[in-house]
């Protein structure tokens, strides 16, 4: 079953009467349980596409269905509820609270979810354990390495059990070893836990961890291929 269905999606920005088209008739589907990378150079439209897919922006024309429901039929409040309950986000810049512990950072989304206060710590702890960071549980995020910060961000994205995780350049601020560790965790979430993963990246080595690569150029889909020889990371993050 498709969790995302795009049909002829276009996006045009207007500023002082000047219209700038960014996306043109973009159409594809993403099935539940897929791991898909969207690649493209700067200015290709991939970031705008991510914003539309993640309900951070509205498309200008076309049809976007999420989990079988047309987004155009939802109010802004309804869209916010779907985003908070069914989507997890991982960003290149981590977006953690610097003087707040790993545990408190991961618990944060639960404050806006329908989760009892007494259950929040155990749920957050399980998510932290799943990314191998229990030894940093009470560390402030400012005390973490870049790789540990991104693993904290992954745990935070997991904590509400989202239907899909959007990872925007998840290895962009990391060295190669830390990036490999992050990609290993994302693979495990997809292979073993069945999470749908959508990667936005310009790095070929990162995209090769996906099972499918969609290339975007000049606001349109250039190619959409299955990955025959998927790159695998070494299983070492929890050691």
The string of pLDDT tens digits covering residues 45-87 is 999 999 999 999 999 999 999 999 999 888 989 998 899 889 9
Residues 117, 204: Cα–Cα separation, whole Å: 42
Residues 15, 53: Cα–Cα separation, whole Å: 23
What per-residue confidence (pLDDT) applies to 233? Answer: 59
pLDDT exceeds 90 at position 35: yes
pLDDT exceeds 60 at position 237: no
Residue in the structure block whose two tokens are 């009470």: 138
- The DSSP code for 101 is B
Looking only at the bridges linking them, the beta strands covering 2-15 and 18-31 are: antiparallel
Residue in the structure block whose two tokens are 């799943």: 130
Residues 160, 6: Cα–Cα separation, whole Å: 25
CA angle 221, 64, 206 (to 5 degrees): 45
197 vs 32, 72, 200, 209, CA distance in Å? 9, 23, 10, 11
Average pLDDT, the chain: 92
Q: What's the half-sphere exposure (Cβ side, CA atoms, 13 Å) at 190? A: 27
What per-residue confidence (pLDDT) applies to 72? Answer: 87
pTM score: 0.91
Q: What's the half-sphere exposure (Cβ side, CA atoms, 13 Å) at 23? A: 27
Task: pLDDT band for 229, please (50, 70, 90 cuts).
Answer: confident
Cβ atoms < 10 Å from Cβ of 9: 21
- N- to C-terminal Cα distance for the chain? 36
What per-residue confidence (pLDDT) applies to 238? Answer: 42
Q: Is 49 helix (H, G, I), strand (E, B) or coil?
A: helix
């Amino acid at each position: 079953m498709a969790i995302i269905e795009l049909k002829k999606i276009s996006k045009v920005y207007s500023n002082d009467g000047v219209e700038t088209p960014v996306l043109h008739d973009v159409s594809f589907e993403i099935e539940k349980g897929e791991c898909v990378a969207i690649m493209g150079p700067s200015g290709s439209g991939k970031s705008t596409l991510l914003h539309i897919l993640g309900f951070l922006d509205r498309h200008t024309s076309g049809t976007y269905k999420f989990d079988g429901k047309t987004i155009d039929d939802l109010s802004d409040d309804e869209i916010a509820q779907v985003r908070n309950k069914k989507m997890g986000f991982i960003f290149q810049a981590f977006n953690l609270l610097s003087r707040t512990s790993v545990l408190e950072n991961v618990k944060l989304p639960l404050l806006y979810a329908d989760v009892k206060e007494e259950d929040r710590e155990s749920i957050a702890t399980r998510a932290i354990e799943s990314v191998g960071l229990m030894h940093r549980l009470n560390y402030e995020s400012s005390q973490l390495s870049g790789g540990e910060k991104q693993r904290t961000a992954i745990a935070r994205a997991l904590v509400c059990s989202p239907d899909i995780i959007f990872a925007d350049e998840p290895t962009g601020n990391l060295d190669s070893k830390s990036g490999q560790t992050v990609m290993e965790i994302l693979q495990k979430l997809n292979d073993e836990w069945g999470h749908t993963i959508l990667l936005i990246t310009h790095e070929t080595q990162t995209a090769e961890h996906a099972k499918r690569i969609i290339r975007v150029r000049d606001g349109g889909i250039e190619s959409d291929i299955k990955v025959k020889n998927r790159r695998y990371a070494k299983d070492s993050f929890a050691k």
